Chains A and B, each alone.
Chain A
Amino acid sequence: SQTIHQWPATLVQPVGSPLSLECTVEGTSNPNLYWYRQAAGRGLQLLFYSVGIGQISSEVPQNLSASRPQDRQFILSSKKLLLSDSGFYLCAWTRQQNYEQYFGPGTRLTVT
């Protein structure tokens, strides 16, 4: 069966500090991978998606970036965090683009 991992679970970072969140998927190959952010009490906002190694599409311009160095690894980064980057960051995978998505447990980020 497939599983998706994210870490860390929670993170408190000062404004201006760098960020690296990691997501890995097990039990499948060549998944489509996604990064979402959810602000408190709001819906999910798609940040990035990837259909393969090194292929990243950005949905929302901001100070975040994503990379996919391996087939089942997806990394979300920032060089300098802003207060507005606080939120619940969720990684998701899907087998093919019209199939259902499965989410990791998420990282709750607070920028202070």
Chain B
Amino acid sequence: RKEVEQDPGPFNVPEGATVAFNCTYSNSASQSFFWYRQDCRKEPKLLMSVYSSGNEDGRFTAQLNRASQYISLLIRDSKLSDSATYLCVVKSWQGKSTFGDGTTLTVKP
């Protein structure tokens, strides 16, 4: 079993749709959680950190469920520009980051 697992998709949604991604992790001692966005043939870019209380940044909402060991990312009112691969990242207390393989999102007009 992988340490961090994501549904690879692809998720194909129309503009304006709401889409949610989940990510599960196996190490219960994980400390920090992040979502990154990666465009084709580009470097990953930080989308948002994930806090225990949940956090929102515009159309994006991230949540953490420590009991069930998963994090989620919700995108509301999808835009064409949201098309990308979304990477879930889990950091251990020693600072080691483990990346999921990513979930591919395509938003269509």
* Residues of A that sit less than 8 Å from B by CB: 32, 34, 36, 42-44, 46, 49, 59, 88, 90, 94, 96-106, 108
Contact = CB atoms under 8 A, between A and B. Distances in A.
Given A98-B32, A100-B34, A105-B43, A43 B87 contact: yes
The interface size bin for chain B is 20 to 34
A96 B102 CA distance: 24
12 contacts: A36-B99, A43-B99, A43-B100, A44-B99, A46-B96, A46-B98, A49-B96, A90-B43, A99-B32, A100-B32, A104-B43, A105-B42
Interface of B: 31-32, 34, 41-46, 49, 87, 89, 91, 93-102
Contacts of B93: 98
Contacts of B95: 32, 94, 96-98
A104 B45 CA distance: 9
Contacts of A97: 91, 94-95
A103 B49 contact: no
A100 B43 contact: no
